[in-house]
Each structure stands twice: as C-alpha cells, then as structure tokens.
C-alpha cells in the first residue's frame, strides 16, 4: 500500500510503498476514508516536535474509515464505519479507570506512537473506536475531523462546566477554534470569537459567534471593553467567564490569560513551543482556574458525533478535501498557511 511518510525531521514528506499491516487479536485494520491534516503533523515535520515512534513514520491522526479486518477480540467491527480516536487509551490503568483516559500513559496516538492515517489502510487497537451508525448528510471522509478538531474542543467545553447563558470566549478560530465556537453555541453560551484573520472571523460569525474581534486591530483594553459591553447587553454574568485558548500562539495565550476574571476558567487547548510570561498571582486574586486539556477521551466521541449528525455543528464550510497523492504538497500549503480550511486527505490510489 502507499503512505505519506516522514523519514527525517525537516526532510520532505514522501509517498512511499509500505507493507499492508495485519491485525493481531486486539487490533483492527481500517480502510481510510479520510484523514485530516492538523498543525500537530506540521509540528512533527518542521518544528522539531519529537514523535514517539522512530522515523520513518506515516503521519495523520484525524481518521475515519471502514474496518476491513479484525483480530479475534473485535470481529464484530468488520464492515463497520468508524472514527478512530486521536488518543487511544489502554482502558486498564488508574488514569483510565478515573475517567482520565485521554492522558493514559500507555496511550497510542496514530501518526505519533504508531503509523497514522495518511495511507490507504491504518492498523489501530480495536478498543475505543467510535462506530458511525448514521452519517446524515455527510461523507465518511468528512467525519474524520471529529477525531481531533471537533472532539478536542468538545472535551474542553465539557470539562469547563460551560452552561447555557454563560459567556464563552474563544481565542483563535482556526481548525480547532472554529468548532469550539460552534460547540459552545450548541451548549447555549454567548460566544465571543477572537482572531487576527478577518476571513476566519467572518466564517464563524454565521456559526455561533455573537461577537467577533480582530485582536490585531485593537489594543487589549479596547478588546476587553467590547466584551464587557456585550456581556451587559447579553445579560451574562460579569464573572465566571469560560475562556478557550485555541490559537496555539504566545500572543493568543497572553490575551486569553488577560481576560481571566473572578471565578473565571481558562482552558488551554492550543499548543506552542513558545513561552508566555504571565502573572500567576492573578489566579489567586480572581480565584480563577487555568486547566490544560489534551485530546479527548473516547467516551465523549459519540456525543460529539451526535452534534454533527444533528447539524448543531457544521463541518462542510470549514473543510476541504484533497487527493492523498497530493499529500506532500498539501502539507506544505498547510504549513505556509495557504489553506484556510481543515484539509482532509482522501486516498486515491
């Protein structure tokens, strides 16, 4: 079979012929329908973020497809359409039993711990797969973004305790933030979207954001005043704001931290190697909370999938499909910010 592989950090990704794997008793072989291109993939390729599996490695962790072969433990999954969790926990450790399987220390992440979905087939554990019983008006390939871009902010919102009528502030409305806005709105929150790209802000204005602010065109004091004015107009509380940092940029992190107020909660969703200087005493003064959130535990996937099928989350305006044979070129375009939508690679071999 063919796969888009990274052979060395910084080297061009290449299409290679690799052996088609076979499942053991606990594994399944998934025929890939689509695999989203995430900036985490670019981080492995260009930014020096180390992978757990030694190179060469097939990248890609946002996978949907059909189970075509399975070991003895998972025969019932053959011919089922599935979304493969971006983080697959062991299901047997203390963290898993305590509901924190997303940070299971024996977790497997496709395109990091094991070969990923930029290929015709991917071999993954059978545990934790999200079975797609109905797709609604979606192609299976389109549902691949549920594996990270949708479920990662979904877990963050669930863990934040966001409720109807709350204020949700989403900093960074790219591939993940786009869905964070929509999920927060589906929960009944009033949503503020902040970014430096007018096109991205315009896109989410019609999908859940009641206020959009270009932070590159205003100072922080004015930005906060705009939010406060809408908080009053919306009859939201002046405290207990829920802030979601999805930009993965130092400036975005500083903005998000600066918006913390009394009893506020900041969920750190985006990732960057850059450092941000903050005054931790703000947490004490505001009795506020800052919490990291990694991936999404598989138990939450069906809930996120239902929001998509019920069209409370809209995928199609924010995704763009490309043939997997163009994978290296697409990855370069994503790295160069030439593709504004979530790119999905679809096998065409």
Q: How far is CA 152 from the centre of its chain?
A: 4
Cα 35 from Cα 6, distance rounded (Å): 16
Q: Which domain holds residue 89?
A: 2-148+296-346
pLDDT digit string, tens, across residues 264-316: 999 999 988 889 999 999 999 999 999 999 999 999 999 999 999 999 999 99
Is residue 136 located within the same domain as residue 163? no
**Domain of residue 278, CATH code:** 3.40.50.720
- Global pTM reads 0.95
Find, among 274, 277, 258, 278, the residue nearest to 266 by Cα. 258
pLDDT digit string, tens, across residues 131-190: 999 999 999 999 999 999 999 999 999 999 999 999 999 999 999 999 999 999 999 999
Is residue 159 located within the same domain as residue 278? yes
Is residue 55 located within the same domain as residue 117? yes
Cα 229 from Cα 7, distance rounded (Å): 52
Residue 324, exposed/middle/buried by CB under 10 A (0-12, 13-18, 19+)? buried
Number of domains in the chain: 2
Among candidate residues 292, 314, 335, the one where a domain is terminated? 292
- For residue 93, the tally of other CB atoms under 10 A from its CB is 15
Is residue 303 located within the same domain as residue 168? no
């Amino acid at each position: 079979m063919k796969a888009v592989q990274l052979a060395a950090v910084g080297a061009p990704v290449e299409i290679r012929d690799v052996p088609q794997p076979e499942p053991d008793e606990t594994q399944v072989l998934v025929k890939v329908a689509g695999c989203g291109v995430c900036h985490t993939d670019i981080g492995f390729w260009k930014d020096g973020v180390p992978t757990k599996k030694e190179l060469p490695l097939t990248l890609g962790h946002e996978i949907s497809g059909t189970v075509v072969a399975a070991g003895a433990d998972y025969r019932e999954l053959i011919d089922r359409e599935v979304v493969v969790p971006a983080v697959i926990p062991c299901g047997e450790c203390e963290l898993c039993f305590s509901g924190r399987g997303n940070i299971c220390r024996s977790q497997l992440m496709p395109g990091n711990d094991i070969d990923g979905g930029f290929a015709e087939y991917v071999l993954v554990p059978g545990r934790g797969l999200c079975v797609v019983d109905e797709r609604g008006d979606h192609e299976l390939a389109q549902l691949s973004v549920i594996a990270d871009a949708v479920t990662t902010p979904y877990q963050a919102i669930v863990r934040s305790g966001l409720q109807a009528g709350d204020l949700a502030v989403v900093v960074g409305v790219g591939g993940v933030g786009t869905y964070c806005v929509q999920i927060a709105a589906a929960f009944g929150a009033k949503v503020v979207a902040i970014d430096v790209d007018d096109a991205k802000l315009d896109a989410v204005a019609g999908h859940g954001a009641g206020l959009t602010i270009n932070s590159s065109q205003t100072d922080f004091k004015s930005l906060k005043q705009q939010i406060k004015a809408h908080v009053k107009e919306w009859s939201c509380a002046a405290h207990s704001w829920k802030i979601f940092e999805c930009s993965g940029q130092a400036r975005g992190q500083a903005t998000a931290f600066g918006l913390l107020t009394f009893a506020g909660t900041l969920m750190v969703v985006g990732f960057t190697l850059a450092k941000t200087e903050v005054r931790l005493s703000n947490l004490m003064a505001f009795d506020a909370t800052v919490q990291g959130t990694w991936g999404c535990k598989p138990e939450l996937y069906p809930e996120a999938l239902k929001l998509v099928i019920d069209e409370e989350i809209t995928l199609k305006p924010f995704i763009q499909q490309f043939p997997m044979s163009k994978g290296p070129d697409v990855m370069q375009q994503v790295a160069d910010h030439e593709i504004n939508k979530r790119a999905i690679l679809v096998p065409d071999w």
